[in-house]
Structure 1
Amino acid sequence: MIDFNVEKQNQILQFLKEKRKEIGYTLLDASEILKISPSYLKKLEDGEYKKTNLELLLNYYDLVGIDPQKLLYDLNILKDKPYYKIPIYGDLNAENIVDYILPTENIQFDESFFAYKLKEDYSHDFFKNDVVIVKKTSESFNEISETSILFSNKVNKVGIGTIRKIYSENDIASYNSFIISVNYDIFAISNSKKNLPSQIKIYGEIKGIIRLMD
């Protein structure tokens, strides 16, 4: 889960305020682009709020011409750690991040990872907008494109970015490929519900999540 303290938040907002002024944006200009009120933005910059929406900070970075991904470093999440980028599947909306950075601490460089963003809640472990990090265990994943990945969360409902736990053998018979969570629950993932191959494939194991702050 991504989290940061009030002091760090205020330091970031002061930095963004200075950058805003350097490039010539007034408070009104910035608030219109960020789609918030000038009074709300002023209170943010003045440190009057204890918690700031992470998506707003990402948009503010983009506004002043800084890669939003740099925010992860400014929050001391990944500073001084080796890292590499992993692909992410699912709509990121206004966050404007194409790839998430994954620290290489405690993992091998030859391991392959991907991520997807959930569009619906799943039990008490995974929630809407969580970005689930998955370690790939099947090379056949390379055959699947971003637009064809379908995560099923109900028997008759299939859509990109949702997941579903397998409860019975009948569920397993309905799909041809799976992802396992860290506690070994199995989730269905399939790019087709017709002409399924006889061999079931495990695509990966969930290694963690990135949870954006509200």
Structure 2
Amino acid sequence: MTTPIRVLVCDDQALIRTGLVTIIDAQPDLEIVGECDNGQDGVALARRLRPDVVVMDVRMPVLDGIQATRLLAGAGVARPVKVLVVTTFNLDEYVYEALRCGASGFLLKDAPPAQLLHGIRTVATGAALLDPEVTRQLVGRYAARIRPLDGTSPDIPLTPREQEVLRLIADGLSNGEVAARLVISQETVKTFVSRILAKLGLRDRVQAVVYAYRHGMVA
């Protein structure tokens, strides 16, 4: 048997935290290694327990989820921890900052349990996860901030097909939706995404979305 994915849950609302723990721990391939109700304890536990994924709320006492994410996954962290932000607060400044601070993904708390579990598994593999609907709202709200002020767009080192895939990702489409739109397999989409990230020197899907808007690839 493969080793279960070790998960730490940080949420200040006991009822929600218990619900998350119950859903996650019921899966044979997932294991809860700890839980806490504030970011400071979350950072301490994550450094001590070394979970594969931290499920992190945004607004918590003592230390909020953004600062906790920066300490666990931000630039310069020697041993970064993968963080999946799960919150009721839909795309406010806090979420945008959490993604900038190194979060590997973001889901809303009203997402179906299957989507949460998929998110944990996805982030654990080293891939990034951004709910397609969240992507649409994120880029819609922050497009003006991330577009180049002078309106210029330098040469983009991608093939026409790769650019097409990147535009669809920036529009908030999932791999499955991109595959359906282009009439190709999801494996082919994954290959395109990997090539795009490698060619552009980007870490994950979130950075790819920002890149597309910054370079004027999306209206």
Structure 1 length-normalised TM = 0.30
Larger strand share, 1 or 2: 1
Larger Rg: 1
TM-score computed with the length of structure 2 as normaliser: 0.30
Between structures 1 and 2, the one with greater helix share: 2
